[in-house]
Structure formats: structure tokens, C-alpha cells
Amino acid sequence: MNTVARRRTFRKGLRDGLSLQSPWPLAIAVASVLAVAIRLVYINLPLSADEGGFAEVARLWRNGSTLYDGAWADRPQGLLLVFRGVLSIHDSELALRAAAIIVSVVLLVVFAGLARRLVGRRAALIAVFLLATAGASPFIEAYTLSGELLASAFSVGSLFAFVVYLERRHAALILLAGLLTGSAVMVKQSGFDAGVAALAYLLWTERRAALRPVLMLLAGALVAPVLCAVSAPDFGAWWHAVVAYRFEGDSLFRGGVGYRLMLFFNGLRSAALALAVPLVLLPGGWRIAPKLLKLWFVASLIGVLGGGNFWAHYWIQIAPPLCLIAALRLAELLRQRELRRPLRVAPVLAAAVVSVAVSTVPLAGGTERRVEAFTPGDTVRLYDEEIAAYVRTHTSPNDRILVTPLAGGSIYFLADRLPAYRFLWYRPAMATPGAVEELQRVVAERRASLVVVLADPSVLDPSGRTTALLKRGYRVVRRVGPTAILAPA
């Protein structure tokens, strides 16, 4: 089929999909309210280590620390600019959660426009409600202001611009698609999914004729990364933090196979509980999904797997394409009236019941039960508020504190105290040459007015030197749950 015929087929599909009559704006409004309501239920759950850490880095950057040095993070400036912007409006944890809700609504509205053009109105309506519910699940930490949530908004916008480009062939649209893809990558490095899908689709379907749009797509995609690179205070430090660190220290190909498999199955559990309904519908939807949608799903899955850590919030990235593919299958079942057959409908109903049950049962048990259910590996966050309160009342605003073994960005943020050590996360400190020795100097010189020990420091420093220095120079002054707070001896 030549290019002209493909365009005619594409436009005919759009007209067929848009001919179905339904209260489209009302449906989007209802889905948005539903997505907001689900997130409001979990808005008071403790800040994640990433939320608190990025908020603290943004605050340090705002107050004059050099980005990727005194204010160190392994994320591009796009994500940190979002956090900085949110905190400039209201410097609080509630502001971060409110921003996550706003982003989720923007994502849903843009997704609705993309879905209607890509799969037709009936399947689009189903996809929108799937994303509003399954995509808001606490099991993938959808209530947090994560890089994956922010990058998904840009990625969906990028693919939306690309689909409209396929219809109208305006150069500005392909440039916009590239610009949004580059912006997604500068929010979270795995946000390349829409751009890769568009690039592969052009090369696959248009071959030699794809040269011009491919070059324009790539040109647009380079804008944001180039701006971030040239605006960085130190290009070498930026390159190490944003690009090289993932390959050198913390990726799928680093660390033991057993460790990565453990992380994978933990993450897969979260994804299965959150996205059970669309996952059950995926095989049937894959058979009838358009090529572009399949490419998008595969690219998003590569983004999730490439990081190698498989944290729960990583799976947010696959939710939009997965919900679209699942919606195609459910729309097909409705159209053929196959939902009357028990064998067809039973898996979907079972997945829906499981998803609702596992998400709502913990609500009766309070915050502790919710954290244990949704983020079982992060229960130490339950004590962050109490620890931060103690730190605030026993230090002055200019004092520095240390949280070890480095998973306490939220404590720095909540306590509003400066870190005595520039690394706020465990994995970057392990992967950066000289970082453990720097920590030993911080402890030996007693630069921290208080030390919050979340776990055994030997996890970060197997030599035992940091542990010995803490015992020699500090004493326990308070215990909060499993956490010990130390002051200079």
C-alpha cells in the first residue's frame, strides 16, 4: 500500500471512529473526577524517598547550591524545574501531591484526544476510564509526583502531535512531537517511548519517504537535551549524573542477576495488582491493535526494563499504551456481545474484583496498613514526620544533618535542614568513585548536628569504617520505631 492509500485509510478510520455518538466531554469530566477522587484517598500517605529527595534537591538549588554538585540528583533539569516550580508556589508536601493530581488530569485529557484519534471513540471512552482507575492505583504509586507521571504527560502529548501529523502532514506537528519527546526525556531518561514509536513507525511504513520527517522529529527531540546540557553549571558533572551514572552504576546490566530478578518480581507484583484488568485484556487487544500502538507499548516496556530497578512507579509509563490496547479488546467484546459468555467475561471480572479489593481493603486499617500494602519495602517512611519533628526542635535552621544509609530525602525536606552529605540516595553513592570515603570524612569530622540511622550503615560501607566512626563520635539520643537518632558524643 502506497503513502496516499495509507493516508486515505487512516482518515477513513478516523471518520468511522468519530461517527459514534456519545457525551464525550462529559465522559472525560467524569473520568477526571474519578482519577482525582482515587488519588485524594491516598494524598496523606508519606512522601516517597524520591519525592522528598527531589524536593530537597530543588530547594537546595533554589537556595544557591550548585546543581549536580552540592545539589546532586541523577535526573535531568526538567524534573527538578517542575519540583522547584511547585515549591515556589507552596513549599510543602501537600503541594507536591496537589501537583501530581493536576498532572494526572492533564495527562488524562491529552490521552483522551490521542485515544479518540488512534482507536475510535468507543474504545477511547473505555481507555480513558481504564487509565482513570487502573492508572491511578496506589500499587504503582500513582498518587506521588514521580518522574514517570510527568514524563508520561509529555510522551502522550508527543504521540498525539504525531498522530495529527499523520493526518495533516504539517511540519510544525512533527517538530512539536520531537520537542515533547525530548522534554519527556529531560524529565525522566526513560521517557523516550513516544519518540521511538513514532520513529520506528515512519521507518517501517514510509521507508525512503520517511527521511525528512525522521530528521525533523530528531531535530525537535534534541532541543531540550541540548538546552539542558549547555545550561548545566558543569557539563562533566551533568553528563555523569544524567547519562553515565545509569550505565556505570545502576542499570539492568549492573549488579547480581539474583538481585535484579528479586527487584523485577517485586515490581511485577505491583504492576499486576494495579493493572490487572488491562493486562488480562492485553492478549486479545494486541491482535487488533494498530502498528503504532504496538510500537508505543514495546518502547514503553523497554523504558521500564532498562532502568533495572523495576520500582513500582516505573510501571506508570506502560499504563497509557496498555489501556489503549486493552480498550480495543473490550470494545470488540461489547460489539460482538461476547460478554454474555462466561468464559470470556470471567477473567476480566476476576481482575476487576481483585484490583478493587486489594486497593480498598487497606483503607480500613489506617496509614500504617496502607503503606505496608502499597509500598511494603518502604515502611520506614511511616516515621519520617516524627523524626523530622524531633530534628526541627533539636537543631537550628543552619545546622546540617545526616541520614544514613541514604534513603531519607523526605526527612531533609520535612525537617527543613541542610544535608551534611551531598548524596541523598544509596545507589548513586555506591556507584560514584570516592563517595563512600566522602561520607567517612563527614562522619569523622562531625559535620552533622544529628545523624538519623535508618538501617545498618554497613549496607553502604561494607568496610565497617563508617559504623566505627559513628560509634566513636556519636551517641544515641532518641529512637523512633526502627530508627536511631544520634548526636555528637
Contact 181, 166 (CB under 8 A): no
Q: How far apart are the first and last CA of the chain?
A: 79
Q: Cell numbers at residue 35, please?
A: 482519577
Residue 212: predicted pLDDT:
95
Q: Which of 126-130, 282-286, 308-312, 450-454 has the lowest mean pLDDT?
A: 308-312
Residue among 39, 25, 176 at smallest CA distance from 109:
25
- With a cut of 90, say whether residue 156 has pLDDT above it: yes
Average pLDDT over residues 390-395: 96
In whole angstroms, how far apart are CA 177 and each of 69, 148, 155, 168, 480?
Answer: 32, 18, 9, 14, 49
In the chain, the amino acid numbered 142 is A
Average pLDDT over residues 416-422: 95
- CA-CA distance, 123 to 119, in Å (whole number)? 6
- CA-CA distance, 163 to 112, in Å (whole number)? 13
Q: What would you report as the CA-atom Rg of the chain, rounded to the nearest whole angstrom?
A: 24
Element (H, E) at 442: helix 435-444
- CA-CA distance, 386 to 280, in Å (whole number)? 42
Q: What is the DSSP string of 288-312?
A: H--HHHHHHHHHHHHHHHHHSS--G
Residue 362: predicted pLDDT:
82
Q: Cell numbers at residue 244, please?
A: 553515565
Q: Which of 102-106, 334-338, 461-465, 479-483 ranks highest by mean pLDDT?
A: 102-106
Residue with cell 518480581: 265
* Bond into 405 cis (ω within 30): yes
- With a cut of 80, say whether residue 254 has pLDDT above it: no
Q: What is the pLDDT of residues 182-218, one digit of tens each?
A: 999 999 999 999 999 999 999 999 988 899 999 999 9
Q: Residue 411 — pLDDT band, cuts 50, 70, 90? A: very high
- With a cut of 90, say whether residue 102 has pLDDT above it: yes
Q: Cell numbers at residue 91, please?
A: 513549599
Average pLDDT, the chain: 90
The length of the chain in residues reads: 489
Beta strand pairing status for 418-419 and 474-480?
A: unpaired
pTM for this structure? 0.90
Residue 353: predicted pLDDT:
85
Contact 460, 431 (CB under 8 A): no
Listing from the earlier edge strand, what are the strands of the sheet with 400-404? 418-419, 400-404, 450-453, 483-488, 474-480
Q: Which of 34-43, 255-264, 324-333, 441-450 has the lowest mean pLDDT?
A: 255-264
